[in-house]
Amino acid sequence: MPTMNFAEAIRDALRIEMERDPNVYLIGEDVGTFGNVFGVTKGLIDQFGEKRVRDTPITESAIIGAAVGSAACGLRPVAEIMYIDFIGVALDQLYNQAAKMRYMFGGKITIPMVLRSACGAGRGSAAQHSQSLEAWFMHVPGLRVVMPSTPADAKGLLITAIRDDNPVVFLEHKLLYNTKGEVPEGEYTIPFGQADIKREGKDVTVVATARMVHYALNAAEKLAADGIDVEIVDPRTLSPLDEDTILDSVKKTHKLVIVHEEVKFAGSGAEIAAMVAEKAFDYLDGPILRVAAPFCPVPFAPSLETEFIPSEEKIIEGVKTVVQG
């Protein structure tokens, strides 16, 4: 298989779907001539033209509004919000319109749109350009929430997202864009609601998302030297959530640590922890532990931002706390 970075894998998925289906188009700030602020859509305007790769004004409400309307009329838009922090000015279009129209109209229309956006901290971008807000979207019935951690997952999940007849929030951690990995050639899909066991183990389950999957894998290698065998589950989609894979892992290891970059309070880990407590409590040998960001805005100062982001050391400490008691 060829090696691609995360951004190239996303671009490959977009190219494949735009070649396959003339109803697929891109819309957003700087997605065309500039090729996205991170270079993800670079070159697509040269292949598909300005009608299918549409640069927009700095008006997120118009971007999402146009995507919802065109999806309702039969197109398959891939709308980009440059940073997920900016979604606030377009929330009505997303959670009150896109998420509800198919239900409210009795299935007479579908809303096959994808919202792509960059999330996450680590670039010194401060409080308004660094957030992880996936729990917001998990709470809305009608939205699918996707959060890949590898190039191969990003490509397969994005193709699935574009072909889905429901609105999909597709979140890309900005510090994953340059990570590399083997990616299958051509078109392939990864089903929603199918978690991936990134590392098998027997002593403790770690459920991690996005960039934290890589932190957890590194921590697991260090913990192995101490005789602790960590199983790492990457949900890949937070809605729908693959409960069975998580529960089966917990039933095997009897211990659970959840790692994400969102703030801990009311984050996605709270839902996962509650689900396990409700459905697998008798299999747990101790309390569930969450390793996540503190309940504060993302700091700008590098030293504070580093402290804000969950680290390998914090994951190791959390795993040892759960395993050793």
SS3 of residue 248 by DSSP? helix
Q: Which of 240, 198, 251, 235 is CA-nearest to residue 220?
A: 198
> What single-letter amino acid sits at 165?
D
Which of the following is catalytic: 129, 173, 214, 260? 129
Q: Is 139 a catalytic residue?
A: no
SS3 of residue 195 by DSSP? coil
Give 198-236 as a DSSP string.
EE--SSEEEEE-THHHHHHHHHHHHHHTTT--EEEEE-S
Q: Which of 94, 216, 87, 88 is CA-nearest to residue 144?
A: 94
Q: Which of 36, 82, 32, 87 is CA-nearest to residue 65?
A: 87
* Contact residues for 73 (Cβ-Cβ < 8 A; gap 6+): none
> What single-letter amino acid sits at 50?
E
Identify the bridge partners of residue 146 per DSSP, sorted by sequence position. Answer: 170, 237
Identify the bridge partners of residue 54 per DSSP, sorted by sequence position. Answer: 27
Reading phi first (left if > 0) and then psi (alpha if -120 to 50, else beta), residue 125 is in alpha
| Both structure tokens of 20 | 């396959």
Distance CA 264, CA 180 (A): 29
Catalytic residues: 129
